[in-house]
Structure 1
Amino acid sequence: MIEIIKSIIFGIVEGITEWLPISSTGHMILLNEVMPLSVSKEYLDMYLVVIQLGAIMAVVLLFWKKIFPFSFQEKNIIKKDIFTMWFKIVVACIPAVIVELAFGDYIEGVFYHYQVVAVMLIIVGILFIVVENWNKNRVSKICSIQEITYQTAFIIGIFQVIAAVFPGTSRSGATIIGALLLGVSRTVIAEFTFYLAIPVMFGASFMKLLSFGVTFQDNELALLITAMLSSFVVSLYVIRFFIGYIKKNDFKAFGWYRIVIGIVVFIAFGFIL
């Protein structure tokens, strides 16, 4: 019963941190340091990735009309603009896929611990504040998903690689910073980041399940489903909040949060630079 409660908490934290640019992977690693699940390391590695499926299903549900490229009620069954958007998303995924396939296991072994998380929380937090101050009086050049070019999508994908390498960076945080530098509006990059997460998370979850296998011990399947369900429910609210928030505000508040929590991690875990 205690492990089920822990799994609900893991799902809640995942649902909150996956969509805010504060690093879901970083928070998961830190949460497991404070409140470890009584499971094997192999299961935990799979679990921390696959529970993201609950969060991504919230995106699919909320944005279904914008991401499904077929219409059975209109004359033109195929929505060409949505197909084009998916091609751009594939292009943006290429850099991260290459890095994950080539160096995924090495990266997890070397960088996935709280010291790296704390450092990256602070560094990216500072970058958020610096970039937003620089971006304050600039006019956005790209104000819709359709205006994102293949070149822009690929560059955004390169920024995403940073998050793939260093936990605590935040996949959405890295793409947001890159997109702001490229002149993409806040609302557009937030939406593009949501869509970009769909193939990334499904792909990562599939690879983890493939390597772990489909045989679960004791209550392992129950823990996984519980976390996915709680992350799904929480994500429905967090995504709506985030979209509404960035229509009126910049990302500096998330930068300050990252800096504060990074410092707290250093103090709490007694890490000395």
Structure 2
Amino acid sequence: MNTLQAIILAIIEGLTEFLPISSTAHMGFTASLLGMEESDFLKMFQVSIQFGAILAIVVLYWKKFFNFENFKFYYKLVYAVIPALVLGYLFDDKIEAVLGNQIAISSVLVLGGVVLLFVDNWFKNPTILDEKDISIKKAVIIGFWQCLAMMPGTSRSAASIIGGMTQGLNRKSAAEFSFFLAVPTMLAVTVYSIFVKTWGKGTPTEMKGYEMILQDQNHIFLFIMGNIVAFIVALIAVKTFITFLTKYGFKFWGWYRIIIGIALLIFFYNK
């Protein structure tokens, strides 16, 4: 991976992590289109630069995250993230196996797009307009919805936002709670991929994520730069998405997923 490729992937991560279009799918497609050789470092890099994206959420909503008097906010996130932590750990190997199947991911992209075309019509009468009105029970249910995104191409953002809307949240509050929930979820995934997970298990190149990063100066540079770029781009993308979603809903993103998914299906089928 060279510097330009790393910057492009980080831009894609920052743009798509909080949109209902699947950052995993877009980074995978981009890496394939750029002719990047599949490697453990590439997979780890795509996961680890999520750290930069979640920092953008903490900065944008710092009053929420650092209001230590509102303990219920933290309880909600802790309980809501448990399903993803447990199921993610149990199915980690199966999830990684699907990451290289671009046909499957493209198909999921299309199917998810079809769902987004109808979401706005399904949930027309929201009753919850602010995070403080979300009960712990509803937060946990949203956490289970988030687990649907373990299938690459689904989109963690789309799954958790739709989950929120099933619990009576309006589009804005559902999107914001999805962002809040992303922080512990993606922080856990990043820490796991860097410090716990053994990449290339059973091969001569078997090592932890931090060992790959510290392997040479170029890897250290790419890791730091990727997180910085993802952070900056995510800062812009999040606020823009909230405004767009509140005003126009999901239909645009549905058509986007369908068009991109079909185009990629044709591309990878003929490749």
TM-score when normalising by structure 1 = 0.89
- The 5-angstrom pairing of residues 129-140 of structure 1 reads 129-135=117-123, 138-140=124-126
Counterpart residue number, 1:266: 265
- The 5-angstrom pairing of residues 55-204 of structure 1 reads 55-70=53-68, 79-80=69-70, 83-110=71-98, 112-135=100-123, 138-164=124-150, 166-204=151-189
Counterpart residue number, 2:210: 213
Question: Aligned residue pairs: how many?
Answer: 257
Return the offset for 1:109.
1.3
User: 5+ unaligned residues in a row in structure 1: which ranges?
Assistant: 71-78
The separation in 2 between residues aligned to 1:44 and 1:180, in whole angstroms, is 34
The separation in 1 between residues aligned to 2:172 and 2:84, in whole angstroms, is 23
TM-score when normalising by structure 2 = 0.90
Return the offset for 1:31.
1.0
Counterpart residue number, 1:250: 249
Amino acid at match of 2:134: I
Return the offset for 1:110.
3.7
CA contact (8 A) 1:3 1:37 kept: no
Q: CA RMSD in A?
A: 1.7
Return the offset for 1:3.
0.8
Task: State percent identity of aligned pairs.
Answer: 38
* Change in 2 beyond 3 A, CA 1:263/1:231: same
Return the offset for 1:98.
0.9
Counterpart residue number, 2:202: none
Q: What does the per-residue CA deviation read over 1:62-119, in whole Å, with 9 as the maximum and x for residues that have no partner?
A: 110111133xxxxxxxx13xx2111111111111111111111222114542112111
* Change in 2 beyond 3 A, CA 1:118/1:271: farther
Return the offset for 1:127.
0.8
Counterpart residue number, 1:74: none
The separation in 2 between residues aligned to 1:43 and 1:200, in whole angstroms, is 21
* Change in 2 beyond 3 A, CA 1:255/1:186: same
Counterpart residue number, 2:44: 46
Match of 2:247, SS state, is: coil
CA contact (8 A) 2:103 2:269 kept: no
CA contact (8 A) 2:57 2:179 kept: yes
The separation in 2 between residues aligned to 1:36 and 1:133, in whole angstroms, is 40
